[in-house]
Structure formats: structure tokens, C-alpha cells
């Protein structure tokens, strides 16, 4: 367990789709920061709430390890990481505290335009490329479909053209990337958006108080935005 801290530390994406909206949402809760020279750490000035700027994929693990108390991350990443930890025998340690209303996208199965889609059973015996093996496996099992999962860390949408896979399971927002690769979305596996992630276990009283204050301000800020 991490040593007791009297400040709250929130992990957000350093750069990417969630970086600016996460920061401006937290700023609208009345937080402000002094940035370190390497731009990895932001020291909270108005409240003892600091930011750690990291890759989004690292956020669930940082919470699990107690390095950070809270994080702003896509539900897709949080859920996938939870499934992976569960598959390797780990007990659940983090959960979604609250959805944040930005970063909307969906994790979808997409197939070549030329396929006449009739349903999930069409994927039986096929190879599906994805960076989300846990979520895809869970969905395939629920559908009772036996397919091969091809794990790719990026450029999933070109896998069918390269002959690496027959179909893909990837994040979609507008669908333009899929269309450019002659693919069409046919099944939604997860509706995602940015969420505030936090531990399942309770904080010590000091951080619990800070987290409660932050949650109250977040409610207010999100209500005004709607």
C-alpha cells in the first residue's frame, strides 16, 4: 500500500482526445495548477489536488497501484483493463465513479462493405483484429460465437486489407476511418465516454474529504454544461 498522502492526485491524459477536455472540466471545478518544467506533474494551487499527465492506457494501473487516487479515462480503457486484470486472477480494485459527458465513441465490430450482415453468427470461425481482446471475448461469449481474436496494438482498421483478419473490433465515432478502409460497423459492443475512475476501497479521511468536495463541484460543473 502507498504511504498516506494529504493531497489528492488525479491522472489525466497528457496529450490526445481526452487531455484538454479533462483539464478544462477540472479547471471549471475551481482547480488551478502550477506546472512542472517537464509538464508531467501539475501542482494544485487552489486546492491540494494535483494532476499527473500520462498515457491514457496507464491510468487504471496507476489507480490500482495507488500512485494516483483518481483518473479521467475512457470507459473502453477502464473496462478492458479491468477484464485483463480479472483474467489474470486480480480482484477488482478500480471502478467507474462517474461519466463525464465527453469523449463519446463506441467499440464496434466492423466487417468489409461487401458482406451482407445477418448477425453475430457470421463471425463464427473468422479472425477479428482488435486492441480490446477482453471486451471482444466477453461479447463473443455472450453471443455464443467462436471466433479467433487477433491482437493488434494499432492500425486495426487496415488488418482486413492486409489479410491479417476478416473483421475488426475498434472504436468508432464518425465512422469515416472505417469507410476509408471499406469497412462498415455492424454491432456495438460498448458505448463509451470519458469517466472519472477511482478505487473501490475507501480513501483515508483526508483524501475522502477532498474527493467528496471534488465530486460535489463536478456535479455542479456538469449540470451547468448540459
Neighbours of 74 (CB within 10 A): 26
Q: What are the residue ranges of helices labelled H in 112-188? A: 133-143, 159-162, 176-180
Is the separation of the CB atoms in 149 and 131 below 8 Å? no
Q: Determine contact, residues 8/69, Cβ cutoff 8 Å.
A: yes
1 SS3 class: coil
The footprint of Zn ion on residues 31-70 (CB under 5 A) is 56-57
Considering the rule CB under 6 A, would residue 159 count as an interface residue with ligand ATP? no
CB 217, CB 30: distance < 8 Å: yes
173 binds ligand ATP (CB under 6 A): yes
198 contributes a contact to ligand ATP by CB under 6 A: no
- Residue in 44, 60, 71, 74 binding ligand ATP, rule: CB under 6 A: 74
Residue 89 CB, nearest approach to ligand ATP (Å): 25
Q: How far is the CB of 40 from ligand ATP (least distance, A)?
A: 13
By the rule CB under 6 A, 39 interacts with ligand ATP: no
Q: List residues near ligand ATP by CB under 6 A.
A: 13, 16-18, 55-57, 74, 76-77, 103, 105, 171, 173, 192
Amino acid at each position: 500500500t502507498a504511504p498516506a498522502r494529504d493531497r489528492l492526485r488525479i491522472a489525466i491524459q497528457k496529450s490526445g482526445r481526452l487531455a484538454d477536455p479533462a483539464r478544462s472540466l477540472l479547471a471549471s471545478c475551481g482547480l488551478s495548477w502550477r506546472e512542472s518544467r517537464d509538464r508531467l506533474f501539475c501542482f494544485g494551487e487552489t486546492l491540494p489536488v494535483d494532476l499527473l499527465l500520462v498515457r491514457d492506457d496507464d491510468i487504471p494501473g496507476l489507480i490500482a497501484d495507488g500512485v494516483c487516487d483518481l483518473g479521467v479515462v475512457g470507459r473502453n480503457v477502464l473496462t478492458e483493463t479491468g477484464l485483463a486484470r480479472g483474467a489474470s486472477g486480480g480482484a477488482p480494485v478500480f471502478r467507474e465513479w462517474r461519466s463525464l459527458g465527453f469523449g463519446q465513441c463506441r467499440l464496434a465490430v466492423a466487417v468489409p462493405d461487401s458482406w451482407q450482415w445477418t448477425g453475430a453468427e457470421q463471425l463464427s470461425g473468422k479472425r477479428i483484429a482488435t486492441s480490446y481482446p477482453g471486451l471482444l471475448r466477453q461479447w463473443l461469449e455472450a453471443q455464443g460465437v467462436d471466433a479467433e481474436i487477433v491482437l493488434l496494438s494499432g492500425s486495426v482498421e487496415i488488418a482486413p486489407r492486409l489479410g491479417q483478419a476478416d473483421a475488426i473490433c475498434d472504436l468508432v465515432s464518425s465512422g469515416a476511418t472505417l469507410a476509408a478502409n471499406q469497412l462498415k460497423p455492424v454491432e456495438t459492443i460498448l458505448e463509451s465516454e470519458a469517466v472519472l475512475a477511482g478505487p473501490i476501497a475507501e480513501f483515508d479521511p483526508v483524501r475522502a474529504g477532498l474527493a467528496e468536495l471534488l465530486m460535489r463541484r463536478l456535479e455542479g460543473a456538469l449540470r451547468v454544461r448540459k
